[in-house]
Each structure stands twice: as C-alpha cells, then as structure tokens.
Amino acid sequence: MRLNQNVSLLGKKVVLVPYTAEHVPSVRFRVPESVQPAEAPLCPCRYHEWMKSEELQRLTASEPLTLEQEYAMQRSWREDADKCTFIVLDAAKWQAQPGSTEESCMAGDVNLFLTDLGDPTLGEIEVMIAEPSCRGQGFGTEAALMMMSYEASL
C-alpha cells in the first residue's frame, strides 16, 4: 500500500517501518538492479531467510518462495490498495545504536488486509515475530495495537 511508503511509527517496544526491497535478501549482496540502483549498499537482510523456516511457513500458512518471488511479492504488496505491511523493528536496538540499519533490528512484520475497500473499518491484522530472541516480550501485541491505531487514522 503506497499510503505507508513514507511512514514510520514509533512505539515503546517496536518501530514499524514500510516493507521495502532492502528487507528481502537473505545474504550480503547487492540488491538486483531491477529493484534498486546499482550503487545500492550491501545489506545483511533477513526476511527471505526467515521465510525459509518450516515452522514460520506453517504458522503463517506461507509457501516457500524463491528470492525473485519474494521480491515480486514485496512489490505487489507495495502496490495493492488492500494491503499494508510494516516491518517490526526492536525499538531498543534501533534507538541504542545510532546509525544502525533497520535490517540489524528486524523482529518480524505486521500486515493489514482491508476486506472491504468501501469500509476501511473492516480488516484483518496479522503479526509475525520471526526473530526468536524477540518473542514473548510484547512486540507482537504492541505492533498489532499500533497497526489498528494507524488504520483508524487513515
């Protein structure tokens, strides 16, 4: 959803940032030219790596995707009018390390699916705290509440 492409939301435990191509790769390499300019920095991104986990696939009812399919999925979610996705960052890590990359603070994602475009109050929220060290700390609860608040403000 383009509405959140320039929006970051700061909570006490988490920071929500738009899901971009920089969050996709599973190893350190340059983002493909089709996604970013050739001068794109190297990045240690984790989203695609997380989604290789059979446990996360089962819990999120997801199918394994190739890296190119993951990029295509990210692009489609960015364009779809009925979906809004934020990457969930660990706020303590993000704030404690000036200049830290979003990728080094990633905890999971939160998604909003609008089920009736004529009524923006109807929707479904999904939260995935993929990083095991971030589970059980209230990150998912805060991310869901922040997403509901964001949706209500649209």
Strands, sheet with 9-10, edge to edge from the N-terminal-most edge strand: 9-10, 14-18, 83-90, 106-114, 123-129
Give whichever of 28-37, 69-78, 105-114, 131-140 has the largest mean pLDDT: 131-140
120, pLDDT greater than 60:
yes
The whole-number pLDDT of residue 25 equals 66
The whole-number pLDDT of residue 42 equals 35
Question: Which CA distances in Å does 153 have to 13, 120, 150?
Answer: 21, 10, 5
124, pLDDT greater than 90:
yes
Non-local CB neighbours of 95 within 8 Å, separated by 6+ positions? none
CA distance 136 to 107: 12
41, pLDDT greater than 60:
no
Pairing of strands 106-114, 123-129: antiparallel
**Average pLDDT for 40-44:** 37
Q: What is the pTM of this model?
A: 0.79
Q: Which of 38-42, 94-98, 120-124, 147-151 has the lowest mean pLDDT?
A: 38-42
CA distance 71 to 22: 10
The whole-number pLDDT of residue 134 equals 95
Kindly state the percentage of the chain with pLDDT values over 70: 84
**Average pLDDT for 139-147:** 98
Length of the chain: 154
Q: Find, among 35, 44, 120, the residue nearest to 74 by Cα.
A: 35
Task: Supply φ then ψ for residue 127, to 5 degrees.
Answer: -125, 135
pLDDT tier at 110, thresholds 50, 70, 90: very high
Residue 15 is which amino acid? Answer: V
CATH number listed for the domain at residues 2-153: 3.40.630.30
The whole-number pLDDT of residue 31 equals 47
Question: Which CA distances in Å does 63 have to 67, 87, 148?
Answer: 13, 19, 26
